């Protein structure tokens, strides 16, 4: 059971509602609660399906379909995340504009790249290796469900707070954006290191075989 809760916590850290909501600032400010909730839930369903697929078929997808090692994905995803983290740190919330895009009511746009990213896909594969298929799916659904519920509550809080304390809303977005850059950078380095260790071990074994 410990592995189950550890997996849920891992996914919640990566799909952190308090940080993901920063990506959705424009949608939060523009859409009413009903529309926002509907779009967010549909995006979460799409993301959950992707995560479950990778948890069940991660190795098959990478090795059989793509002909690549999972470690290569970790390194590439880590590099992408590192670039994003550096942009966030240097440019602040302006760096989010390119990721938000104009499709505020597009569930697919919320699913990718906001909920589904290199780190969360990597975590899904690891959850699939750690748990039985059913438990892995339940852990993913639980984590996404909690994340979505918290974001809907944050939307309600935003609608109540903004007319009274608009400056606090802007301050939260600014601080959360910087925190997002810090966390993204940490996981980027971790992904690169994990992928690098796998390849280093493979190279070492190959050299020993000579």
Q: 25-35: per-residue pLDDT in tens?
A: 778 878 888 98
For residue 48, is pLDDT > 90? yes
For residue 209, is pLDDT > 80? no
Q: Taking residues 136-165, what's their average pLDDT?
A: 86
Whether residue 84 contacts residue 189, with contact meaning beta carbons closer than 8 Å, is answered with no
For residue 105, is pLDDT > 70? no
DSSP assignment of 67-134 equals ---HHHHHHHHHHHHHHHHHHHHHHGGGGGHHHH-S-TT-HHHIIIIII--HHHHHHHHHHHHHS-HH
DSSP assignment of 16-51 equals -HHHHHHHTHHHHHHS-HHHHHHHHHHHHHHHHHHH
Structural domain tally of the chain? 1
User: Which residues constitute the domain of residue 38?
Assistant: 2-209
For residue 110, is pLDDT > 80? no
Query: Distance between CA 181 and CA 84 in Å, rounded?
Result: 8
Residue at token pair 């809760």: 5
Q: How many CB atoms lie within 10 A of CB 38?
A: 13
């Amino acid at each position: 059971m410990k592995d189950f809760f550890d997996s849920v916590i891992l996914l919640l850290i990566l799909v952190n509602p308090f940080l993901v909501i920063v990506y959705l600032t424009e949608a939060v400010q523009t859409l009413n609660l009903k529309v926002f909730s509907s779009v967010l839930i549909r995006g979460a369903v799409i993301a959950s399906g992707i995560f479950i697929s990778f948890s069940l078929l991660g190795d098959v997808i990478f090795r059989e379909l793509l002909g690549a090692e999972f470690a290569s994905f970790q390194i590439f995803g880590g590099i992408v995340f590192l670039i994003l983290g550096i942009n966030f740190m240097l440019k602040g919330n302006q760096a989010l504009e390119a990721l938000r895009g104009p499709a505020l009511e597009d569930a697919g746009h919320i699913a990718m790249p906001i909920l589904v990213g290199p780190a969360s896909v990597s975590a899904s594969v690891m959850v699939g290796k750690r748990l039985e298929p059913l438990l892995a799916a339940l852990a993913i659904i639980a984590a996404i469900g909690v994340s979505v519920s918290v974001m809907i509550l944050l939307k309600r809080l935003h609608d109540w707070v903004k007319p009274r304390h608009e400056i606090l809303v802007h301050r939260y977005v600014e601080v959360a954006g910087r925190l997002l850059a810090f966390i993204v950078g940490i996981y980027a380095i971790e992904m690169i290191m994990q992928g690098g260790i796998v390849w280093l071990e493979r190279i070492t074994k190959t050299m020993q075989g000579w």
